[in-house]
């Protein structure tokens, strides 16, 4: 097919991208500064068959309609204009360009000097253009048919306060899972398989947060060293799911994965990278945005437009000041919600998106647009609240409607369990939802996404096994990665045969998992931490697409015990609303009761004084969580009840006898769990303690005690009959106690109390 054989109609400037309408395909591309744009067509082998000049231009949109075009057609663009880097322009028609709105890509990028807009190694560096054609080295855009049978698919719409996030990598989670058919491992289809979903359900998480799945590029320096960008934070296409995770069906395979997860009640959250692209700085390749309109798409240094303003550490920053760039991001977000049915987004380096001029503006255009959008304002929005620019650390400063990765939670919980003194005040804020960060802005405890580890940094097991990073496998002489990890190896660096050290390491993992899942806010688990996955001390495994990063499902007895403990914690979190409050604690007596909603306790069983909070040697505290009276109201204003708990925490290296407080109405306390004992099968389980007795809180351990009787003045609070269902969903029979409160052999019939 040549140019003469292709019928070209004017088409429409909207929507942007290649749109199949059932009769033909409309093509539309934004470029403010191009002087000419060509649409290039290719056969399935990647050979160019036609190059059509787009003669129609409306509001800086170049467009045409091809009545002969069909889904599956391959295309890309060439843009003409000045090559003048000092003026911010880098047009070079020799370079084939990907459509920023491409929904699917065909073929792989193969690194070659022709992919660069300038002649590599030339005396003028990027100031002189390279005239070699890059078409044979660049993947092509593919027209898709968006039709898909969603059936009765509905978003699970899990409330924020009931959400538990599980951060995973599509390939890493499924690559070695033996129950998945081998041809599906490492793919969207593998994650949609019954074994994968069954594991997630039995674990007890409500949402998966997928590390980047937008079409991405492996950096040339990694490919030259035989490595890949495993994490995926190097996006080139904001609409196309990366095909490296596709077993066969591409876009529809991703949709099928979402549909299967939804059917299991699991939400899908995407980690998205809108702060920069894979084109890098002025010495990077010309793949799409740079060649289409460099000056419009990127933040350039105002005093020298040759260079890029870099708030990301990746060479460039998208220009959020330009309305078409804002439109690109909003169109991409809406596409993933409306067409791909995802439930939310985690925004990588979100502070970079909030920079209007130079400073981070929490009320910038990006937030304004999202908040007024009827689609995006209703999905889960998570910010990574920092970037690498000045003033970029913005934990606690994002607007209402946003949640945040709480970096202070991570740091302060790590410091406490490492054994640093004087950290109990900071820990108290983190345990209770970080009111110091979020309450004044009108936000709720669930604004805090609590995490101790994530993809970036040590795994939980490595956090307690290494003092220093060991990133030699990355090929950068161990210079990469964070050096200040707040980690502690428990007495030996890396693997050891010392049984005492290994027991302490497992206990420290239990301590941090329990802290995470018993804190107010939204817990986020990093995949594999629930059973002690190790990356051999590598805290920056971004380029390790191998066994270092993949989850190894061959669990030893110790790992199986840790997994069972994590599942037990998640059951506690799910069953007890007192760990999932929608409002911050007030620290005062509850309505109609002498019981406070929360009480902070010293090891002596007395309430903490102001002076005791600031003691440098303090490494132990307790807190009482009230649930035996009305703890909150539901969305209809009806009272909700729960058990009351004592949480006792000891990061000291010695056992501390903790005096059980006299807090009405509890008469007895029963040990629910104790991290000192492996597998949760501690001898103390089920033990009852009275106020004034001492509980032996082991060194570096956490214990959870539940008040007995669990319900007092039951008739007064209408636990029986109709309103009992409010306290315990699924509790049906009037006059019958919930199973968890049936301790009649100890306390007699609670109905008589």
151 exposure class (CB count in 10 Å sphere: 0-12, 13-18, 19+): exposed
The answer for residues whose C-beta is within 8 angstroms of residue 499's C-beta and 6 or more apart is none
Peptide linkage before 15 cis (omega within 30 of 0) = yes
Report yes or no: 545 and 171 within 8 Å, Cβ to Cβ: yes
Residue 348 annotated to the active site? yes
Measure the CA–CA gap between 184 and 181, rounded to whole angstroms.
6
CA angle (397, 398, 403) in 5-degree steps: 120
**What are the tokens at 234?**
């190097």
Pairing of strands 140-142, 74-80: antiparallel
Q: Which of 219, 253, 343, 384 is catalytic?
A: 384
CA 714 from chain centre, in angstroms, equals: 41
Report yes or no: 667 and 689 within 8 Å, Cβ to Cβ: no
**What are the tokens at 564?**
């069972």
Three-state SS at 620: strand
427 exposure class (CB count in 10 Å sphere: 0-12, 13-18, 19+): buried
Measure the CA–CA gap between 292 and 30, rounded to whole angstroms.
8
The answer for residues whose C-beta is within 8 angstroms of residue 399's C-beta and 6 or more apart is 362, 363, 367, 371, 441
438, containing H or E segment: helix 435-438
Q: Which of 209, 293, 310, 348 is catalytic?
A: 348
**What are the tokens at 731?**
């509790």
For the four alpha carbons of 281, 99, 254 and 111, in that order, the dihedral sign comes to negative
| DSSP labels, 695-722 | EEE-TTEEEEEEEESS-SSTTTTT-SGG
Three-state SS at 690: coil
Closest-CA residue to 372 (of 401, 398, 404): 401
Q: State the catalytic residues.
A: 348, 384
């Amino acid at each position: 097919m040549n140019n003469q054989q292709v019928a070209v109609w004017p088409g429409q400037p909207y929507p942007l991208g290649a749109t199949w309408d059932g009769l033909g395909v409309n093509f539309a591309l934004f470029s403010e500064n191009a002087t000419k744009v060509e649409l290039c067509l290719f056969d399935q082998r990647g050979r160019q068959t036609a190059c059509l000049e787009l003669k129609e231009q409306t509001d800086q949109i170049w467009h045409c309609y091809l009545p002969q075009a069909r889904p599956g057609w391959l295309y890309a663009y060439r843009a003409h204009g000045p090559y003048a880097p000092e003026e911010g322009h880098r047009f070079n028609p020799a370079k084939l360009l990907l459509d920023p709105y491409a929904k699917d890509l065909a073929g792989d990028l193969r690194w070659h000097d022709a992919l660069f807009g300038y002649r590599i190694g030339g005396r003028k560096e990027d100031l002189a253009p390279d005239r070699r054609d890059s078409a044979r080295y660049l993947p092509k855009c593919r027209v898709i048919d968006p039709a898909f049978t969603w059936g009765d698919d509905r978003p699970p719409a899990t409330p924020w306060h009931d959400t538990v996030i599980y951060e995973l990598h599509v390939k890493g989670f499924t690559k070695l899972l033996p129950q998945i058919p081998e041809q599906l491992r490492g793919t969207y289809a593998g994650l949609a398989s019954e074994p994968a979903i069954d594991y997630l359900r039995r674990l007890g998480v409500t949402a998966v947060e997928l590390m980047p799945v937008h079409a991405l590029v492996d950096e040339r320096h990694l490919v030259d060293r035989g490595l890949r960008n495993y994490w995926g934070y190097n996006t080139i296409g904001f609409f196309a799911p990366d095909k490296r995770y596709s077993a066969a069906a591409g876009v529809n395979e991703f949709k099928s994965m979402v549909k299967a997860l939804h059917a299991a009640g699991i939400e899908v959250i995407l980690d998205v990278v809108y702060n920069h692209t894979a084109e890098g700085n002025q010495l990077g390749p010309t793949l799409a945005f740079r060649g289409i309109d460099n000056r419009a798409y990127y933040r350039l240094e105002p005093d020298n437009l040759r260079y890029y303003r870099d708030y990301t550490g990746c060479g460039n920053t998208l220009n959020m000041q330009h309305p078409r760039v804002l439109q690109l991001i909003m169109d991409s977000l809406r596409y993933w919600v409306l067409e791909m049915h995802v439930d939310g987004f985690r925004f990588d380096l979100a502070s970079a998106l909030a920079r209007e001029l130079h400073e981070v503006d929490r009320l910038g255009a990006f937030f304004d647009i999202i908040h007024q959008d009827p689609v995006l304002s209703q999905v889960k929005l998570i910010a990574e609240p920092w970037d690498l620019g000045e003033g970029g650390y913005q934990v606690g400063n994002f607007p209402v409607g946003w949640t945040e990765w709480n970096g202070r939670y991570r740091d302060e919980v790590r410091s406490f369990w490492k054994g640093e003194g004087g950290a109990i005040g900071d820990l108290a804020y983190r345990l209770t939802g970080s009111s110091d960060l979020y309450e004044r802005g009108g936000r709720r405890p669930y604004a805090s996404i609590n995490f101790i580890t994530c993809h970036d940094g040590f795994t939980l097991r490595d956090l307690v096994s290494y003092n220093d990073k060991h990133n030699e496998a990355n090929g950068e002489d161990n210079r990469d990665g964070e050096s200040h990890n707040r980690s502690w190896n428990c007495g030996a660096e890396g693997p050891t045969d010392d049984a005492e050290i290994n027991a302490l390491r497992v206990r420290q993992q239990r301590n941090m998992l329990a802290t995470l899942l018993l804190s107010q806010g939204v817990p986020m688990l990093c995949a594999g931490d629930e059973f002690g996955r190790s990356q051999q001390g590598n805290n920056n495994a971004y380029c390790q697409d191998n066994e270092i990063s993949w989850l190894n499902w061959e669990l030893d007895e110790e790992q199986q015990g840790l997994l069972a403990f994590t599942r037990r914690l998640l059951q506690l979190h799910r069953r007890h609303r007192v760990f999932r409050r929608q409002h911050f604690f007030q620290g005062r007596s509850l309505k109609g009761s002498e019981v406070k909603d929360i009480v902070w306790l010293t090891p002596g069983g007395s309430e903490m004084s102001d002076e005791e909070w600031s003691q440098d040697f303090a490494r132990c505290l307790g807190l009482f969580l009230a649930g035996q009276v009305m703890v909150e109201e539901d969305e209809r204003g009806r009272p909700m009840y729960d058990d009351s708990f004592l949480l006792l925490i000891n990061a000291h290296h010695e056992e501390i006898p903790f005096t059980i407080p006299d807090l009405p109405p509890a008469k007895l306390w029963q040990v629910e769990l104790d991290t000192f004992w492996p597998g949760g099968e501690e001898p103390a389980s089920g033990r009852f303690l009275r106020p004034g007795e001492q509980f032996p809180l082991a060194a570096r351990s956490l214990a959870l005690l539940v008040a007995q009787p669990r319900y007092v003045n039951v008739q007064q609070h209408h636990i029986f009959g109709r309103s009992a269902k409010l306290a315990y969903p699924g509790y049906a029979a009037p006059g019958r106690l919930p199973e968890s409160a049936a301790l009649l052999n100890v306390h007699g019939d609670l109905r008589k109390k």
